[in-house]
Chains A and B, each alone.
Chain A
């Protein structure tokens, strides 16, 4: 599976190269036209990313996630969510780097094959840093009002946590 993933990009580039070589159209100038938009998009994205990443790194350094986790742990255990993974659930929508660190921490403390380790794996693998995704997608095209996107994404992510824990109980 990972071999296929690794093959795709080189294959796509070889395909494009073949097109440029054999086609009668000037595909190379198509490429440069397309590529020239990349910089403009990136520059438009920068202000959004500065705001978001600064806020996230402020959050990560404040110790807020640990404090909030202590507060939420009793609530979580009532609905069957192991308290070890609460910090991960809080951080996962916000920061990819911080969640990777938390997962490594859970694996080290409890083991990758423990119940907490498996729950953490399934949650991390089936959810994404949704705040980053939403900010980047809308920031890049200059949309100010995201409507119900963040709400729906958060509900889906919360649902994902419950499904993950349920599946781990059921399958392991």
Chain B
């Protein structure tokens, strides 16, 4: 489906680019896009290595297991397969915590780490497991407690109360995440509770 979405984006862009007469700058943007994917990947290498290493240390010292025990009731409900197989719960817990506390550089590497664990549990490696669908849908809900970039933007724009939007953001994030969980439970998982 991602392939189809990317394809659709390319076709739409081409059509609108021709209509708007933006073809020249579009062909430039295409090559810039391809190169910036490489730049992004390179900038990810460092954080990926660092967080993979830290996670390995935390696992070896038993910290991850303790952490996953604290969050076990919630994780059991959200990720029944990982809970049954006793594999990946700690990584999921750490990744979701990194999202909540807004540790920007850590979120992606830690999420990938958790996905790798879920892939170990997965029976058909080319198709997403129930747990993976749940984890990714939660990843698309912005759980960040403190939207730093946004607040900075509001302050720069001269907002009288830049923080006024924080509570509505929490409420909205929470409601959206709950809806996502319900949809995954109902439409992807065989057992709802």
Contacts and interface: CB of A to CB of B under 8 A. Distances in A.
A53 B34 contact: yes
Nearest to A46: B41
Contacts of A52: 2, 6, 37
Range class of the B interface residue count? 35 or more
B49 interface: yes
Contact of A34 (B14, B37, B52): B52
B30 interface: yes
B17 A56 contact: no
B176 A160 contact: yes
Given A124-B150, A167-B171, A38 B136 contact: no
A127 B142 CA distance: 5
B10 A157 contact: no
A161 to B, nearest CB: 9
Nearest to A111: B157
Contact of A64 (B12, B149, B187): B12
Given A5-B146, A27-B60, A57-B29, A152 B137 contact: yes
A128 interface: yes
A131 B1 CA distance: 11
Interface in B114-128: 115-116, 118-119, 122, 125-128
Nearest to A12: B54
B80 interface: no
A125 B52 contact: no
Interface string A1-43: 1101100110011001001100101010011111111110111
B193 interface: no
Contacts of B47: 38
Contacts of B48: 37-39, 41-42
B164 A118 contact: yes
A76 interface: no
A121 B150 contact: yes
A62 B32 contact: no
Which 9 interchain pairs have the tightest Cβ spacing? A34-B56, A57-B33, A38-B49, A107-B157, A35-B53, A38-B48, A61-B29, A64-B16, A112-B159
